[in-house]
């Protein structure tokens, strides 16, 4: 299966992809929902490409809390060598959310100079650099959310970022409309908040007409910015 949606293989043809998979000794594994895919503590040099299904990179803290670090959808790439998050303060684990197929590649083989000077290998290295740059931007956005002082500000910061990415073209002057890409339960893990406390805050925001949520469609009254750190 050629992962055409994966940024790692942008501008690479299916036949070039197949050739590289043989060269890199790639292998495919399937996982069931709820299954542990990997743990970032083994000095693994492999990277995984999600071909189908969905997975999550989660930090598990010693006190039982967990933080959703990254959602891994088809085309997403993960691996300890690509991570900007240290495992020192809590285990980093990848779990299967929906039955998934993962293509594994050897990262050192991927980035080393190709003896044949293949153009598609050079393109792959360029794509890898862009991918790492994109992950750095995403991590900066997560830090912006997590650095907010309270649950309300975390929610608003998160919603503003999601609206910028997923918002509809027709926005009113005083509100933003966008589709929440995950469940409210996952949202709590994403912003690093207790789920019950987050739901109480959302109810307050609804009561004050600052927020409305219908299924996964979110309408947020535009903040004046004074309440965000």
Whole-model pTM above 0.85? no
CA angle in degrees (0–180, nearest 5) for 139-136-21: 115
Could you tell me the domains of the chain?
7-138 (2.60.120.10), 147-221 (1.10.10.10)
Beta strands in 86-202 (DSSP E): 91-106, 175-179
Q: Can you give the pLDDT at residue 168?
A: 58
pLDDT value of position 25: 78
User: How many Å apart are CA 78 and CA 44, to the nearest integer?
Assistant: 11
Block means of pLDDT (10 residues each) for the chain, 229 residues, are 82 89 87 94 80 91 83 88 63 92 87 75 84 83 92 95 72 81 91 94 96 91 60
Q: 129: Cβ–Cβ under 8 A, 6 or more apart, which residues?
A: none
Long-range contact pairs involving 7-15 (C-beta distance under 8 Å, separation at least 24): 7/75, 7/77, 7/127, 7/130, 7/131, 7/134, 8/49, 8/77, 8/124, 8/127, 8/128, 8/131, 9/124, 9/127, 10/123, 10/127, 11/123, 11/127, 12/120, 12/123, 12/124, 12/127, 13/120
């Amino acid at each position: 299966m050629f992962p055409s949606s994966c940024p790692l293989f942008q501008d690479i043809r299916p036949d070039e992809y197949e050739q590289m998979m043989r060269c890199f000794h790639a292998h495919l594994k399937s996982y069931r929902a709820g299954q542990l895919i990997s743990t970032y503590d083994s000095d693994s040099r492999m990277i995984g490409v999600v071909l189908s299904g969905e997975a999550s990179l989660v930090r598990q803290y010693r006190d039982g809390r967990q933080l959703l670090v990254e959602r891994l959808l088809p085309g997403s790439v993960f691996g300890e060598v690509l991570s900007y998050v240290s495992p020192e303060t809590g285990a980093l684990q990848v779990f299967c959310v929906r039955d998934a197929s993962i293509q594994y590649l050897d990262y050192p083989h991927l980035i080393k100079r190709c003896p044949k000077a293949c153009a598609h290998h050079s393109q792959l290295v360029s794509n890898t650099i862009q991918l790492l740059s994109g992950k750095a931007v995403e991590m900066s956005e997560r830090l912006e959310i997590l650095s907010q002082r309270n649950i309300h500000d975390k929610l608003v910061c998160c919603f503003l970022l999601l609206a910028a990415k997923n918002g509809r073209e027709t926005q009113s002057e005083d509100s933003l409309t966008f589709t929440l890409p995950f469940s409210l339960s996952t949202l709590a893990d994403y912003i690093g908040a207790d789920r019950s406390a987050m739901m109480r805050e959302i109810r307050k925001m609804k009561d004050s007409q600052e927020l409305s949520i219908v299924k996964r469609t979110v309408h947020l009254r535009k903040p004046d910015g004074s309440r965000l750190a």
